[in-house]
Structure 1
Amino acid sequence: MVVENRLIQRRYRLLGTIGRGGMGEVWRARDESLGRQVAVKCLKPTGPRHEPSFLQVLRERFRREARVAAALQHRGITVVHDFGEDDGTLFIVMELLSGRNLSQLLDDSRRQPLPVPDLVEIAEQVTAALAYTHEQAVVHRDLKPANIVRTADGTVKICDFGIARLGHDIGFTARLTGTGVAMGSPHYMSPEQIGAHGVDHRSDLYSLGCVLYEIATGVPPFDLGDAWAVLVGHRDLAPEPPRTLRPDLPEVYERIILDLLAKDPDDRPRDAGELGKRLADARRPQPARDAAAGPDDLTVPAPRLPSWTRGMTLGSPAGPARRPYGHPVDRATTVLTDTWTGGCEARSGEESPPAGIASPAPPDDRRATLAALAGRHTAALDLGRLGRWEEAGAAHRALAAERERLLGPDHPDTLTSRLEAGHALGRLGRSFEAHQIYAEVLAGRERALGPDHPDTLSCRHHVALNLGRLGRLEDCRAMAHEVAGARARVLGAHHADTLATRCELAHVLGRLGLWTEALHTYRDIAAARTAALGPEHPDTLSARYEVGIGLGRLGRSGEALALYRDLAAARTRAQGADDPETLRARHGLGVNLGRQNRWQEALAEAREVAAARARVLGPDHPDTLVSRRETAVALGWLGRWDEALDRYREVADARERVLGAAHLDALASYGDLAQCLEQLGRADEAAALHRRVAALRRERAARRGAGQSGVTR
């Protein structure tokens, strides 16, 4: 039996019940290990009346629920910290934040409909979350007002994926529950759920239609006498048009709601993406028919909820995998509220929001300020995309100061701006300053979110990446290994972010000369991406490219050559002959031709790739200069040192001009140039160049030592 003050798994102290649902009960708890409050969902105690075989199925379903929920990363979905079993009680640990679910919002207003702008904002945010979950083949199956929460800052979140299932697992659920009725709430169940027919993502759209109908009118679409009558209504009756109950509802939204409530799934919007487009179109003002227009001509007012809660990002993608599998990166803080389910009395008095969380119902001028700051955030990101990193960094620093003043130093948006400022410094080669910012943001996220939150882990990934840039390779290796393990535990071993950190780990292993370990890691990543994305997905091909590097470094140039031939062909099919990644694969092909002493072929490949890169990327782009250097290398091996000298000098001059004389790439080019001079018998010039390189290296080391003395984390 679950009781107050019980300690779950010697870590989570239960403080009091928050609510109860079909699968169990939810408790406010304290994480004794980290000193923070969390929500703990416990499966209802099971007595001897249940057969062992059923209990085993129940346990497995509960574990599946936790794994599915933990893999979902979207601002509109709760995040799972932990799950397990303690003395026969199955539990899931989730984040806790003050807020109100839609059922409670209606109760607060004595079941009066929500204002139209609130309805619109809720519909759009829930639709975006469903679009994401449906892309992951996850169907909620129990969407209802009590499972949709509006948090203090206006973010709308879907809670309780307690009966969510991967799409292909729906058949198991139907068999387990007989009619399927027990697996949903009657007022919000789709006709196909009631009939135990095949259920897919369109069932969630029907349930969303029921929710929108209720918050638009104050009553569910089939508010009949008993549960059976409600089910019959869903199956056989047409809902009363919402505008007969609420005439001021714009007609466009009535049409959307009624289309969602179509009995036949084929008659509903095709998917949440299509629904999102219709909602976006509905926001656009419609021209009035005449000066005396009535309710039918109402356009949608500007949203009262802070639309800045949508569209925010938490930093640049964390590594080589630029997006999670099949959908855009979209990582914002997702939390479980302490009013997660209905059916419990409201607490006497309201607590203040946790530090760093915006207080409820900000004034209109504050909302406008925050919306303006969101626009500045987007503009600063655009500066970075254009390569204008000085301006981007300055914009993010100013934005961070404004957000700290308005929201507090540990608010996610403040930390996001500071993180982006760190990214800009890193792009400018100012890694020591970037490290200080990353360390401060990491401390803030650990305080606000905990050490295992995906956003905290993302920041730790960047810290590890920057340690590598600072030359602290062993520290980078240790932290990348730690973050990869944590991401595997929290997100799953094959999650895109987990694989991104493993890529960074493999990269630093290579820099440390541990190429056998690096190659093994890259091959694991390539296999995981092949299984999840397919053999010709860009992220899979990126991992295969790194496998080729490992093979070449280990002297297995024949295998590397075959891999790069296949990779260049695959890149050409997928992205075209002039795509930078296609040219990167061809560059690897040329390098390995040289390693097999096929220098004439290597020279031809290097010249073609250098010309293509100059045309596509520009003559001074780092990749172009690498290919021009490879041309010089091939000329030298062919004994054509005069020509090689010209190429080496061109590369050295360009790197000094673009990067500065003390940059590592520029210093490497001076070394190449000196060696070429020696081959031509110009020893005095070579010696002078060697002395210059030595002086620049001493100067660089002195600057690095001064900067490193300030790095404490």
Structure 2
Amino acid sequence: MGETRLIQGRYRLLEVIGRGGMGEVWRARDESLGRHVAVKCLRPLGPHHDQSFTRVLRERFRREARVAAALQHRGVTVVHDFGEADGALFLVMELLQGRNLSQVLEDNKQHPLPVPDIVDIAEQVSAALAYTHRQGIVHRDLKPANIVRLTEGTVKICDFGIARLGADVGFTSRLTGTGVAMGTPHYMSPEQIGGDEVDQRSDLYSLGCVLYELATGVPPFDLGDAWAILVGHRDTPPEPPRTHRADLPAHLEQIILDLLAKLPEQRPRDAAEVGRRIGAARIVPAYVPTVIGAEPAAREARLPSWTHGITTGHKAAGAALRTPPPDAGAGLTGEWIARPATGPTPRPAPETPQDPPEEALAALAGRHDAGLSLGRLGRWAEAGEVHRAVTAEREHLLGPDHPDTLASRYEVAFTLSRSGRAADALREYTHVARVRERVLGAEHPDTLAARQETAYVLGRLGRPLEAHRVYTSVLAVRERILGADHPDTLRCRHNLAFNLSRLGRLEDSYRAARDVAEARARVLGPSHPDTLVTRYEVAYVLGQLGRWPEALDCYRRVAEARTRALGPDHPDTLAARYEIGISLGRLGRSAEALEVYRDLIEDRTRVDGPDHPETLRARHGLGVNLGRLGRWEEALAESQDVCAVRERALGPDHPDTLVSRREVAVGLGRLGRWADALTEHRAVADARERVLGADHPDTLAGRSDEAHCLEQLGRGREAVELYRRVAELRGRRESHGT
């Protein structure tokens, strides 16, 4: 494999960047898409494997690789492709720019990491594990070398599905009679050592081992003899981390010890609970244990035969990816319509006479990463506060035009957008785009990223024509530089198709979305999440065109494909089910829609919790369809409850809160309570005017609702005056072409 410079006529191998027990990792160029990738070439199948075994293995490889490729989460390394060349199996993955935790510890001379770094890593790894475990996938080989921290602070887990493949071939988690020694035992769970069936709780034990080492500088059983390490995992309570490091917070120590419980049932319930406890520990000084361990059951003294002859291996070390060169391209990661990474970029020399202190810059980089972590947890208000503070300090130390200052200001804009403050977000994005264009150039990826986000918030502000102009100009550059089928180009084409529907160009939107779906199916595959998100958009436009039977059919096919590719509890699968309910309601099949929403609410509550925005969205849909069935008392009660929760969780001016408040007003009107309905409609319109502007379509719709209530109350003159004002604002808006 090492002599093959071009795999399958597409992936050109450039240099070896890692070696391990399973084979080699190459930096390569995807000649088809013009991007750099990592290609893991697994060890060729030897003559000791018979043909029937080889056939089974290849099929198993394809199945596991498909599972790995279907994982779409910010904290999981993306698998782009897989196949076989010259008798060796290979996987094509995104090329990461960063250091794995083994290298981070080595760089730190095996000293413990700062507590904020440990907490940040723990939160991100917990979130990634919670996602993959919901898909029914267990990693089985979680260790520092398989966790990479990117230069901008994102933490990613590598090699999902690969450990299980390695076990089949015989060169990872246990011996299979081939005589190949097992890898390091420092991070293995007791049940894995005993050869028992493992589940997600085995990954939690391994996470405990990793966090123990990050917190203390040594694994929980740092012994020279492999047998002693395995016995330690199985029988010996670990020394409390604070015996190695007195300044470690007690609550963090307790979380680590809970993860290291010998019996799976004594560990935290799941990775989501671990993440919640770590997040709570940021603000709660005292720790209250949630896992009460029992005495370990007596275990058989003899370890399984497969452990004989093993060596300890390296703790927190081993072959792994080097930091790739600056021109390494990024693949599709995280969110389907992802915002580009905007972490710190190489710093030019500041114009001040003296360089700012490195310690101060490092502290700001850590706080920037902490803000990103808060955002990943959906804590947008807190994330915004962090990013605003870091922006001010970076501006003071580095200047307002420095890339790091602009990176923080970009994140301020993103938190504003996610918090429903689109107008404020637009101001920030516009500033960042203008300065980046002057400093970095109009065609720099960071400039294009800021301009594309500007277009997005323009669309949300009801200014789709301006958004269209920005999208088309960004798209022209992306097509010229990257090509029509590059993922970043396709992402821009997708957003442009969505914006065409806002312009009322529904047929154009439908054709554009359909073309992007076909291109993504060709480039990425028909079941790739990015392909499915565009098919979802096709269904949305079909609904806007009134072609609801086709939309319903399309949403159902997307939901089925996402269930197969991502799992039934994946947020995107659940989102497609929500749209099925919308379509049924639009078709007058509200009784069926109620059943869809009831099932969806149950699943959303189980997966995300009762107060999650998507759980509340499903409850909102339930209330709407209760009203359609004439059950207005029930509909009003549901709407009032959802509105109260949204106001508490999201704020009174959040778009979702205002939608609920309007539904309350509709219910009051249907029950003849027009004075109360007027109060609610007026409050909605006032809030929208405050946030979106007086001439925004949503504001104007709210004023029309207000005028209708005035009519019902016999206040015709006021109603006519309000209708006239709405018509003037709408006409003025249309004359300006916005």
Change (3 A) 1:617 1:46: farther
Residue in 1 aligned with 2:581?
A: 544
Instruction: Tell me the CA shift for residue 434 of structure 1.
Output: 0.9
Q: Does 1:420 align with 2:419?
A: no
Equivalent of 1:358, from 344, 347, 351?
A: 344
Pairwise CA distance, 1:56: 2.5
Tell me if structure 1 keeps the 8 A contact 2:101–2:147: yes
Matches within 5 A, 1:40-55: 40-55=39-54
SS in 2 for 1:263: coil
Q: Aligned with 2:36: secondary structure?
A: strand
Task: Say whether the 8 Å CA contact 1:99–1:150 is kept in structure 2.
Answer: yes
Aligned pair partner of 2:730 in 640, 643, 659? 659
Distance 1:627 1:31, change over 3 A: closer
Task: Give unmatched runs, 5+ long, in structure 1.
Answer: 288-340, 550-559, 591-603, 633-642, 664-698, 705-713
- Report the alpha carbon displacement of residue 465 of structure 1 after superposing the two structures with TM: 0.6
Superposed CA deviations along residues 358-417 of structure 1, whole A, max 9, x for unmatched, are: 357976347638543488667646755776543332233224456778998788876554
Q: Is the 8 A contact 1:4 1:15 kept in 2?
A: no
Note the C-alpha offset of 1:472.
4.7
- 2:455 equivalent to 1:469: no
Quick check: 1:577–1:583 contact (8 Å CA) kept in 2?
no
Contact 2:70 2:529 in 1 (8 A): no
- Counterpart pick for 1:566 among 567, 588, 592: 592
SS class of match (1:186): coil
Matches within 5 A, 1:149-298: 149-163=148-162, 185-284=184-283
- 2: CA distance between counterparts of 1:255 and 1:448? 52
1:40 shift after superposition: 0.4
1:608 and 2:670 aligned = yes
* CA separation of 1:86 and 1:409: change in aligned 2, threshold 3 A: farther
What one-letter code is carried by the residue in structure 2 that aligns with 1:60? E
Residue type matched to 1:59 in 2?
Answer: R
CA contact (8 A) 1:142 1:185 kept: no
Please tell me whether the aligned partners of residues 142 and 183 of structure 1 are also in contact (alpha carbons under 8 angstroms): no
Cα distance between partner residues in 1 of 2:617 and 2:185:
56
Contact 1:493 1:499 in 2 (8 A): yes
Is the contact made by 1:419 and 1:438 (CA closer than 8 Å) also made in structure 2?
yes
Match of 1:395 among 428, 451, 462: 428
Moved more, 228-237 or 466-475: 466-475
Instruction: State the Cα distance separating 1:81 from its structure 2 match.
Output: 1.9
Shift of 1:433: 2.1
Aligned position for 2:653: none
Aligned positions of 1:306-317 closer than 5 A? none
SS for the counterpart of 2:73 is coil
Determine which structure has more spread, i.e. the larger CA radius of gyration.
1
Measured in 2, the distance between the counterparts of 1:65 and 1:508 equals 35
Identical aligned residues as a percent? 57
The one-letter code sitting in structure 2 at the alignment partner of 1:566 is E
Q: Label 1:50 to 1:547 Cα distance change in 2 as closer, same or farther (>3 A).
A: same
State the AA in 2 paired with 1:364.
A
Which residue of structure 2 aligns with residue 581 of structure 1? 621
Which residue in the other structure is 1:504 paired with? 537
Task: Using the TM superposition, give the Cα deviation of residue 50 of structure 1 relative to its aligned residue in structure 2, in angstroms.
Answer: 0.6
RMSD across aligned positions (CA):
5.1
The structural deviation recorded for 1:547 is 4.7
* Shift, 1:6, TM fit: 2.2
Structure 1 residues 528 and 149 mapped into 2: Cα distance closer, same or farther (>3 Å)?
closer
> 2-side partners of 1:650 and 1:500: how far apart?
44
What is the aligned residue count? 572
- Equivalence for 1:594: none
Shift of residue 538, structure 1, vs aligned partner: 6.9
**Offset of 1:191 from its aligned partner?**
0.4
Conserved in 1, the CA contact under 8 Å of 2:191 and 2:202?
Answer: yes
**Matched-pair contact (CA < 8 Å) for 2:527–2:561:** yes
**Which shows bigger deviation, 194-203 or 251-260?**
251-260
Task: Give the partner amino acid of 2:500.
Answer: L
The one-letter amino acid of 1:608's match is R
Deviation at 1:514, TM superposition (A): 6.5
Instruction: Please report how far the alpha carbon of residue 17 of structure 1 lies from its aligned counterpart in structure 2 after TM superposition.
Output: 1.9
The Cα shift of 1:147 comes to 0.8
**1:91 aligned counterpart, secondary structure:** strand
Does the 8 Å CA contact 2:33/2:486 hold for their aligned counterparts? no
2:30 aligns with: 31
Say if 2:17 and 2:321, in contact at 8 Å, map to a contact too: no
**8 Å CA contact retained: 1:625, 1:651:** no
Secondary structure of 1:138's counterpart equals coil
* CA–CA separation in structure 2 for the residues paired with 1:90 and 1:364: 47
- Partner residue of 1:307? none
Describe how 1:312-711 pairs up with structure 2 within 5 A.
Answer: 343-344=318-319, 351-352=325-326, 358-359=344-345, 364-365=360-361, 368=364, 371=387, 372-373=390-391, 380=413, 389-401=422-434, 417-439=450-472, 458-473=491-506, 475-485=508-518, 498-509=531-542, 517-525=550-558, 532=568, 539-547=576-584, 549=586, 560-561=587-588, 563-567=589-593, 581-582=621-622, 584-585=624-625, 608=670, 653=724, 655-656=726-727, 659-660=730-731, 663=734
SS of residue paired to 1:656: helix
User: Equivalent residue of 1:188, what SS?
Assistant: coil
- Tell me, yes or no, if the aligned pair for 2:520 and 2:531 is still in contact at 8 Å: yes
Distance across 2 between alignment mates of 1:624 and 1:613: 16
1:60 aligns with 2:59: yes
Per-residue CA deviation, residues 135-172 of structure 1 (Å, 9 max, x unaligned), is: 33322110111111222223222111143679xx9xxx
Q: State the Cα distance separating 1:63 from its structure 2 match.
A: 2.0
Give the match for residue 92 of structure 2: 93
Residues 129 and 24 from structure 1, CA distance in 2 versus in 1: closer, same or farther, beyond 3 angstroms? same
Contact kept? 1:607, 1:627, Cα under 8 Å? no
CA drift at 1:39: 0.4
Q: Which runs of 5+ in 2 are unaligned?
A: 287-315, 330-341, 348-357, 369-386, 392-406, 602-614, 631-665, 689-696, 708-713
Task: Return the alpha-carbon distance in structure 2 between the equivalents of residues 662 and 351 of structure 1.
Answer: 49
Q: Is the 8 A contact 1:71 1:492 kept in 2?
A: no
Q: TM-score by structure 2 length?
A: 0.63
Tell me what 1:15 maps to: 14
Secondary structure (helix, strand or coil) at the match of 2:41 reads strand
Moved more, 109-118 or 41-50: 109-118
Matches of 1:174 and 1:346 in 2, distance apart? 21
Question: What's the secondary structure of 2:162's corresponding residue?
Answer: coil
**Counterpart-to-counterpart distance in 2, 1:93 and 1:202:** 29
Residue 529 of structure 1 contacts residue 540 of structure 1 at CA under 8 Å; is this kept in 2?
no
Q: Structure 1's 11 and 24: CA in aligned 2 closer, same or farther, altered over 3 A?
A: same
Offset at residue 13 of structure 1 (A): 1.1
CA distance in 2, matches of 1:97, 1:447: 25
Find the aligned partners of 2:86 and 2:702 in 1 and give their Cα distance. Answer: 63
Offset of residue 647 of structure 1 = 13
* 2:87 partner amino acid: G
Judging changes above 3 Å, is the alpha-carbon distance between structure 1 residues 500 and 76 closer, same or farther for their aligned structure 2 residues?
closer
User: Aligned partners of 1:576 and 1:124: how far apart in 2?
Assistant: 25
Deviation per CA, 1:425-464: give whole Å up to 9, x if none. 1133332321233345557888999988877655432111
Please report how far the alpha carbon of residue 661 of structure 1 lies from its aligned counterpart in structure 2 after TM superposition. Answer: 5.6
> Is this contact kept in 1: 2:215–2:248, CA < 8 A?
yes
Decide whether aligned partners of structure 1 residues 275 and 625 sit closer, same or farther in structure 2, where only a CA change above 3 A counts: same
Give the whole-Å Cα distance in 2 for the aligned partners of 1:614 and 1:246. 63
Deviation at 1:35, TM superposition (A): 3.0
Query: TM-score under structure 1 normalisation?
Result: 0.65
